[in-house]
Amino acid sequence: MRIERGVLTAVSLGMLCAGSVAWAEQRTVAQEALTPHYRMVLQIGPAEAMYTATEARVHHPSSGEIMVGGRIADGMGGMEHEHAGAAMPDRRHVELHVFSRTTGRVVAEAHVTIAIAGADNKWNSLSIARMYGIETGPDDMHYGNNASLPPGPYRVRASVNGERARFSVSVE
């Protein structure tokens, strides 16, 4: 998923206004939050194949995400291990795009945390990978991972370099 630097694309703006947009069999939801220094855009959509830079050089995938830092989710707290080609029900791709409010540019190097709570009110930390979409390239730099998120309401807490934002989304 790609978010333009400085401005949201028409598709992204539509997602923010409507709350979600259809994609494949799952819907992508997006929300924006502002902190003193950052504009954060949270998106949750269909799971993405994730590759290390080495895997991408060897296999030449045409879609998915290239990880440039962090690691693939390890199953902590209900967040299931995900890798290219793994088939799991309710897989979603959780990504946080971070922009400087001063310049509008992507913040490519940040300390990011994301925690997710479902209807059970149990908070689970998401393993953070720094990545970009293969089709878009490094201008799509964002933070997140694949996770097992069954349909339902979720609260998401994100922190970027100590600045916190909260989101409430419903995954279908």
Is 5 part of a structural domain of the chain? no
In the chain, the number of structural domains is: 1
Is 102 part of a structural domain of the chain? yes
Q: Is 61 exposed, middle or buried (0-12, 13-18, 19+ CB in 10 A)?
A: middle
Q: Cα separations (Å) of 62 from 52, 69, 142, 162?
A: 14, 20, 18, 35
Is 145 part of a structural domain of the chain? yes
pTM for the model: 0.78
What range defines the domain where residue 150 resides?
10-171
Is 72 part of a structural domain of the chain? yes
Residue by residue, pLDDT tens for the chain (172 residues) are 544 433 333 333 333 333 333 334 678 999 999 999 999 999 999 999 999 999 999 999 999 999 999 888 754 333 333 344 345 679 999 999 999 999 999 999 999 999 999 999 999 999 999 999 999 999 999 999 999 999 999 999 999 999 999 999 999 8
Closest CA to 116 of 159, 86, 81: 159
Is 164 part of a structural domain of the chain? yes
Helices then strands (H, E): number in the chain?
2, 12
Is 28 part of a structural domain of the chain? yes
Q: What is the pLDDT of residue 72?
A: 80
- CATH number of the domain encompassing residue 141: 2.60.40.3340
Is 56 part of a structural domain of the chain? yes
Q: What is the pLDDT of residue 25?
A: 61
Q: What is the pLDDT of residue 155?
A: 98
Is 125 part of a structural domain of the chain? yes
Q: What distance, in Å, lies between the first and last C-alpha atoms of the chain?
A: 18
Q: What is the pLDDT of residue 87?
A: 54
Q: What is the pLDDT of residue 115?
A: 98
